[in-house]
Structure 1
Amino acid sequence: MRKVSALLLATERRAISGLAGLYASRMLGLFMVLPVLALYADTLSGATPLLIGVALGIYGLTQATLQIPFGLLSDRIGRKRVIAMGLLIFAAGSVVAAMADSISGVILGRALQGCGAIAAAIMALLADQTREQVRTAAMATIGLSIGVSFAIAMVLGPWLAAWKGLAGVFWFTALLTLVGLVVLWRWVPPAPRRLRHRDVGMDRQQFKRIIMRPDLWRLDLSIFSLHLVLMAIFVAVPFRLLNAGVAIEYHGLAYLAIMALSFIAMVPLVIVAEKRQRMRLMCLLAIGAIVISLSSLSLPFSQQSWLLAWLFVFFTGFNLLEATLPSMLSKLAPAGAKGTAMGVYSTSQFLGAFLGGTLGGLLSNLWGLDAVFIGCAGLALLWWLAMWRMPSPPPLSSEVVALHDTQPDALNLLMEHLADVVGVEDVMVVPEERLMYLKVNRKELDQAALTRLLSPPKT
């Protein structure tokens, strides 16, 4: 084995910062529309609550359909080429939506935005450009950037719409995407290699094994349901704020206060979940908070404070789940299968976004705004019941180790010794990648024994 410093190299810092920025800016463009589309749709011909919901969520359908093919294509023709192609498609969709004067034009533009499905290619390029010792931290940076982009979108979207209208939001998104192209080619360094990474990419041989596991299935259900209710309620939330006396130009400030406070409230809950191994409890608590907040949002409010309070409860639960669900997935996924598990998880998320927007629009169209919250609360309650019997995930973490010797005899001997190390729960060796994937229990791990085994031979 070879031992490498975990300090970031200059090329790794550039890759992480550039690719995290690309991922975040793309998600920013998708999310900025959420708090404003329903309010400004009266300027679009043919707009109905149902079609507004479809416009909100349609990107999820095209994203779910194309993210895996785009990732596989990047293995063949190169990461940067696929990412650049996806960014151009995303920019084209933004321009189509910006120039649209009908709801069908916006739906087409949002669908095109989703066709720029570059998430898998970005993660693969990041894996190409980072060493195994720093890859987990690099992936965590991407995850953090998504959460930050969502919070910024909730504030920036209403401000841009109040200044330049709905079209201005889409034009800003197109401009941001073109800036992303410059970052991709001028800042992100060229990849020194193009390999398959089982901790990042999809492995079709493991697909059936992953989707048949009940513990992982529950997490897929969770991210599906979470983004379903998120998309659905944004057919109604902007009108709730308006009816409570919050002028359109102040919606951004309202979301700023809600998101900031919800992030502050989330942090100690995440610490409890991680440090005290209370993942299941925090998950049920978050879903319960979403059920209660959605039920309460269906009631008429005489004061703004109550509306803002229940939105704070909802987004605290939302942010807590966004932070803990990927962590639970990482703990539960078999060694060497995290990339496949994450691919199924992400597809579930995007399908939830599509169905959520459509469902929210349908409920609003048939029975009004209250029905959106009542229907989502009912679905969230079923989700809570489905998660009730979920066992607590074990305190496992993933490690990727570079192999020094890939001879069969040496690997077989290493596997035998690893099986005797206390705390090593699962091992997968991939000689063609010159990597070994481990799942270890940090609380029980005999770190000294593991270090001795993984140290390079003395010469």
Structure 2
Amino acid sequence: MNSAEKNSVFSIAGIYGLRMLGLFLILPVFALYAEGLEGVTPTLIGLALGIYGFTMAMLQIPFGWLSDRIGRKPVIAAGLLIFAVGSVVAAMADTIWMVIIGRALQGSGAIAAAMMALLADLTREEVRTKAMATVGITIGMSFTVALIAGPLLSSWIGVDGIFWLTAVLALLSIAVLFKLVPDPEKLSTHRDVEAVPGEFGRILRNGQLLRLDVGIFILHGIIMSLFVALPFVLRDHLSIEAHDHPWVYLPVLLVAVGFMVPLIIMAEKKGKMKQVFLLSIGLIALACLMLALWHDSMISVIAALLLFFIAYNVLEATLPSLISRMAPIDAKGTAMGVYSTSQFFGAFIGGAVGGWCYGQFDVQGIFFSTALFALLWLFVAMGMQMPVMRSSVMAHVESDVDADTLESNILALAGVFEAKVVPEENTVFLRVDKKVYDADALNALLNPASQAAEG
């Protein structure tokens, strides 16, 4: 990436990360805080945790389309402002229903699709995958930081203070958006990151993609349900005060990352993706079952959390990669849009169902139900066909090319297995074997005039 692209990517990743941090910070502390709110019930605690997922799922793709019409920055700024308003509503709330309204407003600032479109506007095709990976890493770091910082901040400024802090961060993000993120020269549709209306039918008929959508739905449903129960387990069953909860999560998360890396290498480099994928789902089920049976034992809870977060980190890293590899090369943005919507709906359902289970069956109800859903996911995933490990490549083409002829010529190149030329977006999408693929040969095919001049 050149300096302008690096500035754009890191600024956008920072905005995205701060926003997700604001959503995640309350996860490890809200259930305990909510006990003091008027009108609280276990079901409403879960609903308050997960309701942001419903509004985000409903609005993220429409906001992305709106940004194609009126511009990226106005939509993103409006979304951040809505998020800030929701944070203020939640901060000032003294009833559980006002917190639910605030969290719903937070989710209504659904800027994910618009942010990815802006990122695509500001980066070249050949570096876009790296740019998106940077944003993905930032989101993962936000979740990890939130589990540690949430309880610490709660002990210093209270949960209402966390909501006020997230409102301030959202407003600062608007300043970063206009001060540090460049204005794109033009707005374009980018099939690699944006949902295209005409492609939904093709994506929703793809059984392999639907298995992954079910997976991310269940994974985020499980984790949202767990955070209805875990604060009570640590406080009431293990006698750990809320301000000490980070010292449970921190070592677990650090060790989990250490185990995650070799598993990812085994999956990606050693061709063991399906085995590692199924193992991780199995570990999720085992961890939930351990929590259901032995949540009064510190050793069992720590062991269960370690297994869970090893598996969770592996799955969070591999699921988007699998979506990218399984999706049609010219509809990856649509596939990711459906995937993200499934993820957010999973958070919503997981929070609501987790709260209901807690009210009816205490924490055991949550842990047994999450174990059951993990086993259901394992059954669904067993029939999944793993894609051949090939790399995605994009390149620039002129809008007046003969798409069919150029596609045929590209497919004749060594190492190219799929090609789709989209002249209206000035882009060619490819899947290649990097060991055989010759980028210079593709460049010669796409730029014959420059090659002739050099000759």
Give CA deviations for 1:260-289 in whole Å, capped at 9, x if unaligned.
211121111111111112221111011000
Correspondences of 1:114-153 after superposition (within 5 Å): 114-153=107-146
Q: Separation in 2 of the partners of 1:448 and 1:79?
A: 34
1:344 matched to which residue of 2?
338
2:54 matched to which residue of 1?
61
Q: Separation in 1 of the partners of 2:296 and 2:360?
A: 25
Per-residue deviation at 1:318? 0.6
Of residues 89, 96, 102, the one that matches 2:82 is: 89
Of residues 300, 315, 320, the one that matches 1:321 is: 315
Question: Do the aligned residues in 2 keep the contact of 1:198 with 1:337 (CA within 8 Å)?
Answer: yes
2:185 matched to which residue of 1?
192
1:280 is matched by which residue type in structure 2? Answer: K
Of residues 163, 169, 173, the one that matches 2:166 is: 173
Correspondences of 1:328-367 after superposition (within 5 Å): 328-367=322-361
1:31 matched to which residue of 2?
24
1:140 is matched by which residue type in structure 2? Answer: A
* The 10-residue stretch of structure 1 (290-299 or 302-311) with the greater mean CA deviation from structure 2: 302-311
* The 10-residue stretch of structure 1 (146-155 or 434-443) with the greater mean CA deviation from structure 2: 434-443
Question: Do the aligned residues in 2 keep the contact of 1:334 with 1:426 (CA within 8 Å)?
Answer: no
Per-residue deviation at 1:449? 4.3
Residue 261 (str. 1) matches residue 260 (str. 2): no
Per-residue deviation at 1:443? 4.6
Per-residue deviation at 1:455? 4.6
1:414 is matched by which residue type in structure 2? Answer: L
Q: Separation in 1 of the partners of 2:40 and 2:141?
A: 31
Of residues 233, 256, 271, the one that matches 1:277 is: 271
Decide whether aligned partners of structure 1 residues 279 and 198 sit closer, same or farther in structure 2, where only a CA change above 3 A counts.
same
Question: Do the aligned residues in 2 keep the contact of 1:60 with 1:114 (CA within 8 Å)?
Answer: yes
Q: Separation in 2 of the partners of 1:188 and 1:285?
A: 41
Decide whether aligned partners of structure 1 residues 306 and 429 sit closer, same or farther in structure 2, where only a CA change above 3 A counts.
same
Give CA deviations for 1:414-441 in whole Å, capped at 9, x if unaligned.
2222222233222211111111111223
1:395 matched to which residue of 2?
389
2:201 matched to which residue of 1?
208
Q: Separation in 2 of the partners of 1:73 and 1:91?
A: 20
Q: Separation in 1 of the partners of 2:267 and 2:388?
A: 12
2:144 is matched by which residue type in structure 1? Answer: A
2:77 is matched by which residue type in structure 1? Answer: A
Question: Do the aligned residues in 1 keep the contact of 2:398 with 2:423 (CA within 8 Å)?
Answer: no
1:237 matched to which residue of 2?
230
Q: Separation in 2 of the partners of 1:404 and 1:66?
A: 34
Q: Separation in 2 of the partners of 1:413 and 1:380?
A: 47
2:174 is matched by which residue type in structure 1? Answer: L
- DSSP 3-state at the match of 1:65: helix
Q: Separation in 2 of the partners of 1:192 and 1:395?
A: 35
2:385 is matched by which residue type in structure 1? Answer: P
Question: Do the aligned residues in 2 keep the contact of 1:198 with 1:339 (CA within 8 Å)?
Answer: yes
1:246 matched to which residue of 2?
240
Give CA deviations for 1:308-366 in whole Å, capped at 9, x if unaligned.
12111101111110000011111111111110000000000000000000010011111
1:304 matched to which residue of 2?
298
Per-residue deviation at 1:297? 0.2
Q: Separation in 2 of the partners of 1:285 and 1:190?
A: 45
RMSD: 1.4
1:4 matched to which residue of 2?
none
* The 10-residue stretch of structure 1 (235-244 or 121-130) with the greater mean CA deviation from structure 2: 235-244
Decide whether aligned partners of structure 1 residues 400 and 248 sit closer, same or farther in structure 2, where only a CA change above 3 A counts.
same
* The 10-residue stretch of structure 1 (127-136 or 160-169) with the greater mean CA deviation from structure 2: 160-169
TM-score by length of 2: 0.96
2:421 is matched by which residue type in structure 1? Answer: V
TM-score by length of 1: 0.95
- DSSP 3-state at the match of 1:439: strand
Per-residue deviation at 1:456? 4.3
- DSSP 3-state at the match of 1:17: helix
Question: Do the aligned residues in 1 keep the contact of 2:290 with 2:300 (CA within 8 Å)?
Answer: no
Of residues 2, 22, 25, the one that matches 2:15 is: 22
Per-residue deviation at 1:222? 0.8
Number of residue pairs matched by the alignment: 450
Residue 418 (str. 1) matches residue 415 (str. 2): no
Question: Do the aligned residues in 1 keep the contact of 2:90 with 2:163 (CA within 8 Å)?
Answer: yes
Give CA deviations for 1:390-416 in whole Å, capped at 9, x if unaligned.
1122112211110147233xx443222
Q: Separation in 2 of the partners of 1:406 and 1:109?
A: 50
Question: Do the aligned residues in 2 keep the contact of 1:227 with 1:349 (CA within 8 Å)?
Answer: yes
- Percent identity of paired positions between Structure 1 and Structure 2: 49
Q: Separation in 2 of the partners of 1:286 and 1:252?
A: 24
Question: Do the aligned residues in 1 keep the contact of 2:83 with 2:106 (CA within 8 Å)?
Answer: yes
Structure 2: which 5+ residue stretches go unaligned? Answer: none
Decide whether aligned partners of structure 1 residues 241 and 367 sit closer, same or farther in structure 2, where only a CA change above 3 A counts.
same
Give CA deviations for 1:164-197 in whole Å, capped at 9, x if unaligned.
2210111111111111111111111111211000
1:251 is matched by which residue type in structure 2? Answer: H
Residue 219 (str. 1) matches residue 217 (str. 2): no
Deviant stretches of 4+, over 6 Å: none
1:98 is matched by which residue type in structure 2? Answer: A
1:160 is matched by which residue type in structure 2? Answer: L
Per-residue deviation at 1:19? 0.4
- DSSP 3-state at the match of 2:394: strand
Q: Separation in 2 of the partners of 1:428 and 1:219?
A: 24
